[in-house]
Structure 1
């Protein structure tokens, strides 16, 4: 018997034919919005929702996603949960590629991509962008960028370099009525767990091709972790940390950090915390999280992981203090609330 995902994909393809590829495309109907401080996530999500006729802007979205206005990170999971709360479907994918982005746009779906971003004043940091079009002859995407403005031109290769830092994570927000068309575009990517495998294969390939770059190793660690292999994940993160830093992506590190990771890397991705915790390397979790908290004391994810590691080391008082602080910054942080109950 054919697996369900195959039959669903075949039905979607027959019912939602995609047509011939377009050489140039620009989706109209997106309302651009410039972000406020640390608000690229809420602003970009608002722009994506506007394409489908929703009125929400960062003014409504930010308080829900980041009760602490200085929150350094709004995760793809938080953005997806907000959109689902409005009745939308969301495909949160990873290991995307240029061809997939073109196909999604051609099918009428703007795409949120999580990328690295470098500014002259603030150095490197995470940043969301909304892709709304492309021009194949020039090999560029058009994006609505909450920091730079509307109709920003992003060369394919340049975007991929920045996108790779986040394992080529992407979000597609869509009305439930369009799910069949989206599944037709995604194909086997719509199968549960398939994109994690694609991420693993892509990272392994890039590790062989660029063994001195930290990001393929980091992505390899993230994929192994998602596949339930924390030991392999921890070893990959170790290799990533030992790689030479890419000063093009991290031109102004404070304090002369020598890690392969950009100094803000753990503001956005927490795989090393989890892998080291699961393999019993609690002191390293404490050290890494404390390094982040020295410069971002309100970083609730680092407070959470430091608390768990402190608890495992027997420092229950310190664990409780960290968890209470995390909940003060994000009252709806369910994992922190559950952990606090175990340390009473």
Structure 2
């Protein structure tokens, strides 16, 4: 795979990668660490996001449970996705700070945990009856001697997860992580994050890592992660080409054991329930038919999917179908009244 495939100019790519260079390691991390006692809570249907952010906030004394949080973040049990940015926004609205990052590493997780800060990681999860899906887990400690993280899982309980297994689960979402913490912990969190506290450098690092991964194992996940990383630095056309490669690749059956026959493309059939980069990239370059095709497939399985409705509205508006776009935006807002992007899009249509 050649970098020129994505039409990033040489000067832009060089600048990004130089800015992303990881600094030398500071003080050695301890061989094990734990953030201390955090309340575990089992989830109700599709509530892993509300439960997991609630457990993360419990580290700082919050008593909120899914019954307090889910009504703020979800339209109901049929709402299958709460995005990482929604978790971060929920914490900020309650006076906490939040950092949402990507292309995380084992070293980063250990640095945060050693600083006493639990980390929400977005991972893939496979159940015997439902197959593969997105799932949040809260990391609360690590042990180098045993080679594992400790985690609170809203579905399975308290877990120890081998480092390599966690990284395999995490790869499905490009190493996405969220840390929430009180303002008094700002200095400690920034120290643990290091250069990642600067969003531009972290985005550039994510692009470098995605390019390296797709050279080594060009499977659908590598192409998806490259698409998201390329989109994040502003190259929608390059991102679309990477997403095209992800969709054309052979499916990863081990991640998708209950994949229905109607599912098309290389990515797992629930991928667009959680990740919207393909929809954004195709919308930005005017490939509206592809957006309608992909959102139609999501809405066939999950009619109450407000993000799919939003991107469908964007495509319909791009095609000049204003009334149909308004209907999509209104339905997205009915499901999530605080969906600001949908509200602004509806306002622009008049």
Structures share fold, TM-score greater than 0.5: yes
Alignment correspondent of 1:215: 221
Check whether the contact 1:237–1:272 (CA below 8 A) recurs between aligned residues.
yes
Residues 68-89 of structure 1, C-alpha deviations (whole Å, 9 max, x = no match): 3321110111111111111111
Alignment correspondent of 1:203: 210
The answer to which of 120-129 and 183-192 deviates more is 183-192
- Aligned partners of 1:241 and 1:44: how far apart in 2? 30
Map of 1:17-166 to 2, 5 A cutoff? Answer: 20-150=28-158, 152-166=159-173
Alignment correspondent of 2:347: 341
Residues 177-229 of structure 1, C-alpha deviations (whole Å, 9 max, x = no match): 11111111111111231111111000000011002x11111111111111111
The answer to whether structure 1 residue 178 and structure 2 residue 194 are counterparts is no
SS at match of 2:42: coil
- Aligned partners of 1:234 and 1:21: how far apart in 2? 39
Shift of 1:27: 2.6
Map of 1:297-312 to 2, 5 A cutoff? Answer: 297-312=303-318
- Aligned partners of 1:245 and 1:162: how far apart in 2? 16
SS at match of 1:142: strand
Q: TM-score, normalised by structure 2?
A: 0.90
Check whether the contact 2:92–2:98 (CA below 8 A) recurs between aligned residues.
yes
SS at match of 1:112: strand
The answer to which of 180-189 and 22-31 deviates more is 22-31
- Aligned partners of 2:284 and 2:28: how far apart in 1? 48
Check whether the contact 1:320–1:343 (CA below 8 A) recurs between aligned residues.
yes
Alignment correspondent of 1:15: none
Alignment correspondent of 2:16: none
Check whether the contact 2:247–2:265 (CA below 8 A) recurs between aligned residues.
yes
- Aligned partners of 1:33 and 1:322: how far apart in 2? 35
Shift of 1:274: 0.7
Alignment correspondent of 1:245: 251
Check whether the contact 1:68–1:330 (CA below 8 A) recurs between aligned residues.
no
Shift of 1:343: 2.8
Shift of 1:316: 1.9
Q: Structure 2 unaligned segments of length 5 or more: list them.
A: 1-18
Q: TM-score, normalised by structure 1?
A: 0.92
- Aligned partners of 1:149 and 1:242: how far apart in 2? 37
Figure out how many residues of one structure are paired with residues of the other and give that number: 327
- Aligned partners of 1:146 and 1:258: how far apart in 2? 30
Check whether the contact 1:41–1:74 (CA below 8 A) recurs between aligned residues.
yes
SS at match of 2:104: coil
Check whether the contact 1:27–1:132 (CA below 8 A) recurs between aligned residues.
yes
Check whether the contact 1:244–1:258 (CA below 8 A) recurs between aligned residues.
no
Shift of 1:19: 6.0
1:265 to 271, 295, 304: 271
- Aligned partners of 1:124 and 1:192: how far apart in 2? 30
